[in-house]
Each structure stands twice: as structure tokens, then as C-alpha cells.
Amino acid sequence: MDISVIVPLYNEAESLPELEAWIRQVMSENNFSYEIIFINDGSTDNSWQVIRSLQKNNPAVKGVCFRRNYGKSPALNTGFARAQGDVVITMDADLQDSPDEIPELYRMITEDGYDLVSGWKQKRYDPLSKTIPTKLFNATARKVSGIKNLHDFNCGLKAYRKKVVKHIEVYGDMHRYIPYLAKLAGFNKIGEKVVHHQARKYGSTKFGLDRFVNGYLDLATLWFTGKFGVKPMHFFGLLGSLMFILGFFAVIVVGAMKLYNMYSGNTYHLVTESPYFYLSLTTMLLGTQLFLTGFIGELVVRNSYRRNDYEIEEELNLKND
């Protein structure tokens, strides 16, 4: 099968027939073998009934219906697990992503050799309250992830080589960082294509401004787990050791200053009357706790069943005795 199109959706019953007909037309014009996997994320309208009726007229239509709303990341992960096409295309169900982009995205994967191609909605039909935070968000994501050539991490229209979606796990709200997840999994051939963005035709957006706050928190989590997930002591141990040493020398300085004043005949006070003494002790305690946190983290990693789960591209002439 050439292409799997994965469409996560929540209350998009009005747009589904038009979207399915559009995708079907594009596939027919380009002689692609394909499947459309609709992931109904707990819709409260009749989206699932519409998907059922579409499947009766088009065997390429497939669907998964969640019992309740879980979010876009679980929907995409479920679709990835079921995709059979050599190239996997994801797009939103609100008709803001154009299926006419599919042939070129497919070509960039199969001919240009990209592992992942992300769409870039260079001209958007969104209010400033959405576009300005989006620009700041993408600038931060580029800086943290090191993927400098992407302008729109959160664009729903993306194309993947099949092995990419089979080797990444999208959870929580990590769909915003799928290119970063792919990079961490060893897929570094990541490209971008300017895509047409259409104004929403039906309904209203399902996302609020809180997604930008959550997005930054998720990015911090992903950066930390990607960099220190298998070696937490390198972060907590180093930081804890530095804090402990700083606090220890500060205590010595406080004590030395008292001894100096005592033997010099100067006015002196008990070390326990100095705020610097308590700041030093607090720094030492925090350093000890951070070091122990790193040690506990190492124990957790050591006992993880995935501690030696490495992605192997291929092997040559190896025999297991």
C-alpha cells in the first residue's frame, strides 16, 4: 500500500464527507493505493455515524472510535499503530489542511529521501491571538530541538516514512513535537514544505491558549528526558555536587571569619546568628537531596526493561552462538 492517511477528529461531522471525497479524488488522480484511518476522539456529535456511512461507500475508509476524548496525541499514536502504507500522512479533519499537498509530500519521502516532512502554513488564516504565540512557540522549539529548518512544528499536515511512525511513541500532548521525537529516535532527515492553509469552513477550533503553556512544559520535559533520560546522575549528581561544595566552603568561610574576629579582638557573634550560616546549610542540604535524586534515578533506569533497547538500522553477517 502506498499511503495511509490518518485523520484525528473531535466533533467534525460536517467536514468529514467533503474531506473524504477530496482525499479519494487526489488518490484516484495519482493512482495511489491508500487507506484513510479516521480516529474519532470521543466526539459528542454524529461523527462516528458519518464515518460508518463513508466506509460503506469506500472500503479504503477505516476508523477507530474512542469511548471518550483523550486528545490528539493518543489519537495519532493509535493511527500510527494501525497504518499499513509505505508513507503515512497526517492531517486535521477541519478542511484547513489541503489533500492536494499529498502527492508532493509523498514524492519528498519516496524520492528525496526524507524520513519526515512537516508542512509550513506560511500564510495563515488565524487571528493574531493565535499566530503571535505560535511564532514564539516555534522559535523556542527550534532552539531547544536543534531542528533549525522547521518553521511550524505543530502543523497537522505531515508525511512520514512508515518506519518512523513505528518507532516513535506519541503520548500526552507530544504531537506538537513529533519532529523532535523522530530526531531523538535517530531519524534526522527532516524536511519542510510550504502548504496551503485554508480558513475553517465548519465549526470552531477545539484548542485554547492553554495549549501554549502546556506546550512549553512538554518541550522542557522532552528536552530533559532526551538529554538525561538514561543518565539522570549526570544532571542531578553534577548540580547537587556543585551546590554541596558551594555550601560547604561557605560554612568554612563563615567559621573562619568568626575565628579571625575572635583572635583579632574584633566584635564577633555566634555563627548561628549569621544568616549566611543557614544559607550555607540549606545549600548543602539541597545539594545532598539533588545528588540522592540522581542516584535514585539511576536505580530506576537500571531496572527499566528498556535500558538496552537500542534502535538498530541493520545487521550484516552476524551469528548468535
Clarify whether residues 190 and 247 are in a common domain. Answer: no
Clarify whether residues 119 and 27 are in a common domain. Answer: yes
Clarify whether residues 282 and 159 are in a common domain. Answer: no
Residue 14: per-residue pLDDT: 93
The domain tally of the chain equals 2
Clarify whether residues 43 and 66 are in a common domain. Answer: yes
Taking every pair of C-alpha atoms in the chain, what is the biggest distance, in angstroms?
99
Residue 198: per-residue pLDDT: 74
Residue 42: per-residue pLDDT: 93
Clarify whether residues 23 and 169 are in a common domain. Answer: yes
Q: Decide if 321 is inside a domain.
A: no
Residue 266: per-residue pLDDT: 76
Residue range(s) defining the domain that contains residue 134: 3-228
Q: Decide if 313 is inside a domain.
A: no
- State the CB neighbour count (10 A cutoff) for residue 286: 15
C-alpha cell at 189: 532527515
Q: What is the pLDDT of residues 255-302, one digit of tens each?
A: 888 888 878 877 777 777 788 888 999 999 999 999 999 888 888 877
Q: Decide if 238 is inside a domain.
A: yes
Distance, first Cα to last Cα, the chain:
37
C-alpha cell at 1: 500500500
Q: Decide if 308 is inside a domain.
A: no
**Which amino acid, residue 40?**
N
Please tell me the number of Cα atoms within 13 Å of 174 on its side-chain side.
18
Phi, psi of 166 (to 5 degrees): -85, -10
Strand order in the sheet with 190-194: 61-65, 34-40, 3-9, 87-90, 158-161, 116-120, 190-194
Q: Decide if 59 is inside a domain.
A: yes
Domain end point (choices 209, 228, 247) = 228
Residue 158: per-residue pLDDT: 96
Residue 124: per-residue pLDDT: 67
**Under DSSP, is residue 198 helix (H, G, I), strand (E, B) or coil?**
coil
Clarify whether residues 168 and 270 are in a common domain. Answer: no
DSSP string, 106-164: HHHHHTS--SEEEEE-SS--S-HHHHHHHHHHHHHHHHHH--TT-S-TT-S-EEEEHHH
Residue 312: per-residue pLDDT: 57
Q: How many residues does the chain have?
A: 321
Clarify whether residues 209 and 275 are in a common domain. Answer: no
Domain end point (choices 210, 228, 246) = 228
Q: Decide if 97 is inside a domain.
A: yes
Alpha-carbon span 35 to 284, nearest angstrom:
60
Alpha-carbon span 29 to 233, nearest angstrom:
56
Question: What is the pTM assigned to this prediction?
Answer: 0.75
Cα separations in angstroms, 25 against 35, 117, 205: 13, 22, 26
Note the Cα 75 to chain centre separation in Å: 14
Clarify whether residues 136 and 280 are in a common domain. Answer: no
Clarify whether residues 99 and 247 are in a common domain. Answer: no
Clarify whether residues 195 and 87 are in a common domain. Answer: yes
Clarify whether residues 165 and 215 are in a common domain. Answer: yes
Residue 91: per-residue pLDDT: 95
Q: Decide if 316 is inside a domain.
A: no
Domain end point (choices 172, 199, 228) = 228
Q: Residue 199 belongs to a domain with what CATH number?
A: 3.90.550.10
Listed as ranges, residues in the chain with pLDDT below 50 are: none
Clarify whether residues 70 and 215 are in a common domain. Answer: yes
Q: Decide if 309 is inside a domain.
A: no
**Which amino acid, residue 19?**
L
Contact in structure between 200 and 94 (CB atoms under 8 Å) = yes
Residue 65: per-residue pLDDT: 95
Alpha-carbon span 302 to 29, nearest angstrom:
53
Residue 128: per-residue pLDDT: 59
Alpha-carbon span 132 to 126, nearest angstrom:
10
